[in-house]
Structure 1
Amino acid sequence: MTAPTSGKRIAMACAMAISCAWLSLGAPGVWAQNSPEAVKRQLEALGSDIQNAESRLEGTRDERDSAQDELREVETELADTQQRLTGLQREQDQLDQEVAELKQQRQTLEEERHQQRAALATQLNALYRLGPTPQLKLLLNQTDPARLDRLQQYLNHLNQARQQRLDALAKLEDQLDDTQSALQSHQERLDDLASELTERRETLSDQRSEREAILSKYKERYTSQQAKLAALTDNREDAQQLLERMQAKLERLDQPPPSTDIDQTRGELPWPVQGDMLATYGNGDGVDRNGMLIGAAAGTPVSAVHAGRVVFANWMRGFGNLLIVDHGDNVMTLYAHLQRFDVEVGAQVTRGDTLAAVGDSGGRDSPALYFEVRKDGDPIDPSDWIARR
């Protein structure tokens, strides 16, 4: 009996790994009546099982593929760092806006305090002209009881107005103190953010340098173009096996995403990102062959083309950082070579929601988005689904 070929060994290892993962999760009935939180946990477990299965696949290859393990590690760290940087920048932008609003609020309060002080000064001046004992003067100098009553009421109103001004001033002073405390707290947080941003950017620079070194090592392993094409074919076979098994598991969920009528939008879906077409369906290399490759600047937002649920967001051989959205009706869309993820597994998304950012993960030399559509587990031409431009 002849030994199995490399491709067959990979397929067998993948099938065994996924089968073990499925048994570990339990029979289909385990999914029944689960809450959204429970389904999210199950999806996260599914992602972990897919990663474990892929690790077992890598164990079937020769030692030259150790560069893939290193690439996975550094690109995963890069995605985490980039995601943290993005979060810090958003927090800084929000704090900057709040600081600007607080400063405007303080200016308004100071102007109001100035007006209150001026009005109080006018009232105090009027009382001063009446002398130290105005009530006694009114009683001694006035013989008309009605006029005396009117003047007494005026004096009472003046005293009330003065007290109201004093109370208003005290309140304004408290508000100004609170505003100043908030400004100081915001500024301290901004200083901390600036320090962390600097540290994260330095980390990002180091990680990028490490990635470049790994990529050089990764490319050196190919002694010929034929060897490179063989490795890319292996990656595509691995991906096909893993994605087919994932589709099978998702179909067994008792709480799958409801129908989003995505079939009715065929030919009308928006582009996930605007950019130059680098490769069309059937013409790409490796895993990129089953979809389209769109060139765009690193960090460009990637949008969901239709409503659905995120079922996978992790690193996968060939794809790099890969995000998968299940749209129901046995249709999934894949977004790969991402720089970072902006949504988590289990998240419900709608058309146009930001999912991630364009990157170069998966060993690419330049940033691009790989976009794929799968129907019933099989890849189909995305150009039949998205709108022409």
Structure 2
Amino acid sequence: MARGGATFGAWVAGLALLLGLASPLAAQPSEREAQARLDALGEALREASAQLSTTREARDEASEALREVETALAETHRRLDALQAERRALGDQIATLETRLEQLAAERAEQVAALSAQLDALYRLGRTPQLKLLLNQDDPARLDRLQTYLNRLARARNKRLDALARLDAKLMENHRALAARNERLEAVAEELAERSARLAEQMSQRAALLARLDERFASEQARLATLAQDRAHAERTLREIQERLARLERPPPSTAIEQTRGELPWPVQGSIVSAFHEDAGVHRNGLLIQAAAGTPVRAVHAGRVVFADWMRGFGNLLIVDHGDRVMTLYAHLQHFTAPVGAAVSRGDTLGAVGDSGGQPRPGLYFEVRRGGDPIDPRRWIVRHP
């Protein structure tokens, strides 16, 4: 317990530094010092996550294996999302480059046609037109006009040649850029295929682990008892977090969340599977919202991410502190989008709907806690459509 308290103390200290809760007499940190504190906070939170994922009761190997495979699954999903986004961006870039290539080719064709017309005019004058003008001993005024015409024609020809050279350089640069984008697109497609195969393998491992975990329970009562233990442990830890934050010399800054009660948006749209205090397990103190896997989960209000890790019973769990002793919890995420320490605004994406924590189907578990106590989220968010 002493080691756990020290770990938690380091976590709170790191959080205080990140949120700017240190003594106002302290000197303002440099950018490097601020980044070092942010890194320290991340490490402290990872240690806190390890503490949250353990209990006094012995856990079998299957439970730990589930944590490992679901953590790996989250990273695979995150990377797949990043690759899909990169592929879309590359597709847009390639389309833009191809359009530009067509425009440059059309411009070059126009310049070549114009240059051909100029060369044809010179050809009709014959070879060495200036010499012919002098030998003809024609009217001097006419000679001046013809010479002026020839000079203009020569300048126009040189401009066309310069323009063609510039267009050729742009075309070559465009071709190189297009080839590079296509090469990167092939690499992205190859990695997508590899990640997809890895995802299928990890999902198969997860299914086998869930089957092993289910075999532990001789009855539904035994399963619910284990889930109740998971919930009780998480509640004790989360209450301690809230209480220690409240005891800080300067509490986390307010985001005026109290003024938005009843007006907060839903973190995700879907059907409510379990309402507040309806479930006997880990979902008792919040809402379980069924939604399609991969659906973006959004912050309901401004705040700062203070936790993002795997927790037994809740899977990938993310916690946002909103100040005013109010926190929101988002569990069973497929993966995280917002890292620990990130400041988020209302509507920012925090992660994606998943089934982590051993859930049988995708969904989001959502909690609101005030002063460490869970309250019905429907008192804070708008009426469900």
Same fold (TM over 0.5): yes
Conserved? CA contact 1:284–1:292, under 8 Å: no
In structure 2, how many angstroms separate the alpha carbons of the residues matched to 1:102 and 1:254? 57
Say which is worse superposed, 43-52 or 175-184, in terms of deviation: 43-52
One-letter amino acid of the counterpart of residue 58, structure 2: D
5 Å-filtered alignment, 1:74-223, equals 74-141=69-136, 143-223=138-218
1:227 to 222, 230, 233: 222
2:341 to 314, 330, 346: 346
One-letter amino acid of the counterpart of residue 42, structure 2: E
What is the match of residue 7 of structure 1? none
- Compute the displacement of 1:244 (Å): 2.0
1:62 to 58, 65, 79: 58
In structure 2, the CA distance between the partners of 1:237 and 1:17, relative to structure 1 (3 Å rule), is farther
CA RMSD, 1 decimal: 2.2
1:52 to 50, 53, 78: 50
In structure 2, how many angstroms separate the alpha carbons of the residues matched to 1:300 and 1:28? 32
In structure 2, the CA distance between the partners of 1:268 and 1:125, relative to structure 1 (3 Å rule), is same
What is the match of residue 25 of structure 2? none
Q: How many corresponding residue pairs?
A: 372
- Compute the displacement of 1:52 (Å): 2.9
One-letter amino acid of the counterpart of residue 130, structure 1: L
In structure 2, the CA distance between the partners of 1:386 and 1:125, relative to structure 1 (3 Å rule), is same
Identical positions, percent: 55
5 Å-filtered alignment, 1:360-379, equals 360-379=355-374
- Compute the displacement of 1:247 (Å): 2.4
- Compute the displacement of 1:225 (Å): 2.2
- Compute the displacement of 1:275 (Å): 0.4
- Compute the displacement of 1:44 (Å): 1.2
Can you give the 5+ residue segments of structure 2 that lack an aligned partner in the other structure? 23-27
One-letter amino acid of the counterpart of residue 159, structure 2: Q
CA offsets per residue over residues 336-362 of structure 1, 9 Å max, x none? 000011111111211111111000001
In structure 1, how many angstroms separate the alpha carbons of the residues matched to 2:42 and 2:327? 17
Conserved? CA contact 1:18–1:49, under 8 Å: no
Conserved? CA contact 2:11–2:45, under 8 Å: no
Conserved? CA contact 1:18–1:245, under 8 Å: no
CA offsets per residue over residues 11-67 of structure 1, 9 Å max, x none? xx5xx4541214556969983255653553343133222223235x33x2135x332
Q: Provide TM-score, normalisation by structure 1.
A: 0.90
- Compute the displacement of 1:252 (Å): 6.2
2:271 to 276, 287, 292: 276
In structure 1, how many angstroms separate the alpha carbons of the residues matched to 2:14 and 2:247? 6
Can you give the 5+ residue segments of structure 1 that lack an aligned partner in the other structure? 1-12
Which SS does the other structure have where 2:147 is aligned? helix
In structure 2, the CA distance between the partners of 1:271 and 1:227, relative to structure 1 (3 Å rule), is same
Conserved? CA contact 1:50–1:242, under 8 Å: no
Say which is worse superposed, 185-194 or 161-170, in terms of deviation: 185-194
Which SS does the other structure have where 2:224 is aligned? helix
In structure 2, how many angstroms separate the alpha carbons of the residues matched to 1:105 and 1:254? 60
One-letter amino acid of the counterpart of residue 53, structure 1: Q
Q: Provide TM-score, normalisation by structure 2.
A: 0.91
One-letter amino acid of the counterpart of residue 223, structure 1: A
- Compute the displacement of 1:170 (Å): 0.9
